Structure 1
Amino acid sequence: MTSVTAEPVPFLSALVARRTWQAYGYLWLSLLLAPLALAYVVAVPSLAAGVAVTVVGLWLPAAMVLGARGWAAAYRSAARSLLGVEAADPPAFARPRGFWSALGAALGDPAGWRALLFMLATFPLSILGFVVSTTWLATAAGSMTHWFWSRWLPLEQAADGTWHRGAQLGPGQYVDTPARQALLALAGLLLLLAWPWVNRLCTSLQAALTRTLLGPTAGALRVASLRASRAATVEDADARLRRIERDLHDGTQARLVAVAMQLGEAREQLAAGADPALAAELVEVAHESTKDALGELREIARGIHPPALDAGLAVALETLAARAPLPVTVEVGADVEAAAPLAPAVQSIAYYCAAELLTNVAKHAGASRARVEVTREAGAVRLRVHDDGHGGAAVAPVDGTGRRTGLAGLGERVAAVDGVLDVRSPAGGPTVVTVTLPTTTRP
């Protein structure tokens, strides 16, 4: 939940500022909606009490609880348009399977009940804000123009028997002289200049309620984030399994089939009493093919779990840097693994992030060197990859071909353990990508 940061308005020009009158319009709109919203709130428990004897009838108040989300959306839209206040939409209602589960989820929808609470609280605030702001504005306007319209007021007799025409400020004190008219007009002008700030104060209470009650809670945001990262993780795991299956089928399996055929041919040559040199040549070819197949299997196994990680993250990163196609310097803080060990999932994600980032540097950055830094502080481990390339890297969901980009995939993998991916890559470089991961994973 965030609020739009507006430029400060000078005191003298606040009266004619557009957002001042937009805020006053919000008070009018809120006053018009408040009675309807209160009636809606009262109807929910009333209907629930009336239809509680029938289980099917409980769907009516349940639907009204969910319908409060529509009221919340209307109030958020008004606050966004007229007050410049942004409140993010709460996660959509996820209806579980089963009659009782769905009914219970609808009746207990947190976003719906928070909206109902807002509608209840905004009723007195709408009246209070509108009355205070409008009374202040009317008093200021009346004071400034009293000199004009007071001539039509009826005559009043004071305690001393004199007659006066004008506003009475106290016993025997009437605004019916030029000096008093001028002082009242000046006071009215000051009240008018102060009205925008009074008006803003009246709307700030409802703006605070909008942020507090109509936006998503921290728990709801975390649940939505976990759902999204879980879906991305499942998709990523499925894609990785398909890639491994394809590599095994198209590469290693085909090579092993060729080895079997070559050994079979060599056996036939030996059985037929042919030239032993020809059979030896076939065996040699099969031997080389077997070594190539073993190399491919090692690469596939490294993609599943790098063996170097068994010796620690520092050793794995050094091994990764040694295989990189450009000079890579690795700096791992002494306290990264000296304290409590990192969770295996965190180590794997840090390694794969470094591998993916160094691959991007080699393919796209046009860099001559790179540097990998790993530090640990305050329950988090930070991996930074620097390069001296041309910059311009960005986390885009898809590339020009419609496929998901590598940085977007890294961001989803990092978010799965409540990590953060930060990319600083101005045009012309250099690029610094920071991956912040918790030292342990939460359930």
Structure 2
Amino acid sequence: MTAVTPDQPSVAPAGDPSSSGTPVPGPATQPLAADVAPPKAGDVVAFTGSRPDPRYVDHREHVGFARAPFAARTWREYGYLWLAILLAPFAFTYGLFAVVFLVAMLVPVIGLVVAGWVVVGGRGWGSMYRSLARSALGVDVAAPAPYVRRRGFWSTLWSGIGDGTGWRAVLFLLVTFPLAIVSFVVSTVFLAVGLGGMTHWFWSRWLPLQQASDGSWHRGASFGTDWFVDTPVRQLGLVLVGLLFVFLWAQINRGFVQLFRALTVALLGPTLSSLRVADLEESRGRTVEDADAKLRRIERDLHDGTQARLVAVAMQLGEAKEQLATGGDPGEALDLVDLAHSSTKEALVELRELARGIHPPALDNGLAVALETLAARSPLPVTVDVDPEVEASGRLAPAVESIAYFCVAELVTNAVKHARATGVYVLVERQGSGRGARLRLRVRDDGQGGARVVQPGSDGQRSGLAGLAERVRSVDGSFELTSPVGGPTVVTVLLPVRV
């Protein structure tokens, strides 16, 4: 690997320090910007660990086996089974009617419009079941894309009978009918047997007397012809059996509810492909906005900075020319020329920085060279490790190189300005091969931590990390942030090698 360290590094260069749980000591200061503030309710934070399913949010609390029969969650789930069995006949009837009515209307085409609206009406059932899942099961399932009615008779016809969301809702109504019956009956039987066995010692006194084969009389539950639960030992045994059934009921109840939950997510939520399309559309919109904002910023910098400075240079040279033409003081003219010369050099520096912000010239020689140059120019010690395999199989796509470079540049800037870090470690490596190859960046600083991604608010402003995340998503990459308060902050970016 290629390692570049501008000064004595405060982060160990060997290996990936981000895998170590011991941060390098750094100054303890308060956050200075939104990027390094403690997370608050409502903030959108980059995911850490495995990526969650984007179709739902699970608000359920963890309940152990011993506490399950007494947990409010278990009884809410049992209440869901009651609601499911009450709604199941009506839901099944609607689903069956949607299928039968569509088949019946195939000949009179005009009836297909009504059949289409029946299919679309399944969305209403889906919305109701999602609400039940949210309140009773603690699972907030995202709503699918709304139905859009197209113009024209045939467009309206096919958009209705071809509504995938409506058909998936109809399938849910048909599939959950037998599940509702079986789950309610089995769960209720286990609960009734459990509670009955636990309280048999109390209510068995009101049972009618039964005669055994030997002529003796007994009062209590009978198993077979001559075995009755009417002694203290047998009563205690039945209490234990009833208690076992109650604990089993909680697990069986949870299992059936898990099936309902899975069907709700799979059939009543958005499909992964539709979420993918929506995500790409949002990412594309953000990318266009970022590009427009960058052009406006360049125009503003040129107008307010470089252009104003060049106008001043022109005025200074004009004044010097006038001095010389009218026989004025040559020393004064020389001072004006010298001032114009200094202003010209400052303008060139501004133009060079502006061009570097658009496309760093060092990227023309590859990502490794560009990152080495970035590390050398950083006011903070930066250690860069670049796996030779990154460019051994050919240059990366220009867009990928640019995004990777600006990700590292932004993260190093954050470490300098906000995190109060004393060192940064950058690891760049290639994962996989062929079309599925990915470029992995890992940037770690030993600062104060507490970084978070702030999405645009009402004023349209957002943090630099949010901009990085959007930029990474624009090429189907992933952005992962881990930043506990106190540090260290570790950002992992995965980018496709080819766009």
Separation (CA, whole Å) in 2 of partners of 1:30 and 1:64: 21
C-alpha distance after superposition, 1:175-219 (max 9, x if no partner) = 668479948956666545533333333333322312322233221
SS at match of 1:384: strand
**Aligned 1:182-261 pairs, distance under 5 A:** 182=234, 185=238, 190-261=244-315
Higher helix share: 1
C-alpha distance after superposition, 1:250-293 (max 9, x if no partner) = 11222222233334444444554555555554444333333332
| Structure 1 residues 149 and 416: CA distance shift in structure 2, 3 A | farther
Q: Give the counterpart letter for 2:467 in structure 1.
A: G
SS at match of 2:297: helix
Q: Which runs of 5+ in 2 are unaligned?
A: 1-52
Separation (CA, whole Å) in 1 of partners of 2:416 and 2:218: 92
2:419 is the counterpart of 1:365:
yes
Give 2:27's aligned residue.
none
Give 1:345's aligned residue.
399
Deviation at 1:24, TM superposition (A): 2.0
Residues 375, 382 of structure 2: 8 Å contact kept: yes
Separation (CA, whole Å) in 2 of partners of 1:32 and 1:284: 91
Q: Calculate the aligned-residue CA RMSD, in Å.
A: 3.8
Give 2:339's aligned residue.
285
Q: Which has the higher contact order (CA 8 A, sep 6+)?
A: 2
C-alpha distance after superposition, 1:382-412 (max 9, x if no partner) = 2222223222222222589873111111111
Deviation at 1:234, TM superposition (A): 1.5
2:205 is the counterpart of 1:151:
no
2:442 is the counterpart of 1:388:
no
Separation (CA, whole Å) in 2 of partners of 1:156 and 1:106: 68
| Structure 1 residues 256 and 14: CA distance shift in structure 2, 3 A | closer
Aligned residues: 434
Separation (CA, whole Å) in 1 of partners of 2:164 and 2:419: 47
| Structure 1 residues 276 and 114: CA distance shift in structure 2, 3 A | same
Q: Which runs of 5+ in 1 are unaligned?
A: none
2:157 is the counterpart of 1:88:
no
| Structure 1 residues 429 and 27: CA distance shift in structure 2, 3 A | closer
| Structure 1 residues 53 and 181: CA distance shift in structure 2, 3 A | farther
- Percent of aligned positions with the same letter in both sequences? 55
Correspondent of 1:311 among 349, 353, 365: 365
| Structure 1 residues 376 and 276: CA distance shift in structure 2, 3 A | same
Moved more, 248-257 or 423-432: 423-432
Correspondent of 1:41 among 72, 95, 110: 95
2:65 is the counterpart of 1:7:
no
SS at match of 2:428: strand
Separation (CA, whole Å) in 1 of partners of 2:450 and 2:334: 56
Separation (CA, whole Å) in 2 of partners of 1:390 and 1:249: 38
Separation (CA, whole Å) in 2 of partners of 1:108 and 1:195: 41
Residues 266, 282 of structure 1: 8 Å contact kept: yes
Separation (CA, whole Å) in 1 of partners of 2:109 and 2:349: 66
| Structure 1 residues 43 and 340: CA distance shift in structure 2, 3 A | farther
Give 1:416's aligned residue.
474
Residues 144, 269 of structure 2: 8 Å contact kept: no
Q: Name the TM-score, length of structure 2 as normaliser.
A: 0.74
Q: Which has the larger radius of gyration?
A: 1
Q: Give the counterpart letter for 1:109 in structure 2.
A: D
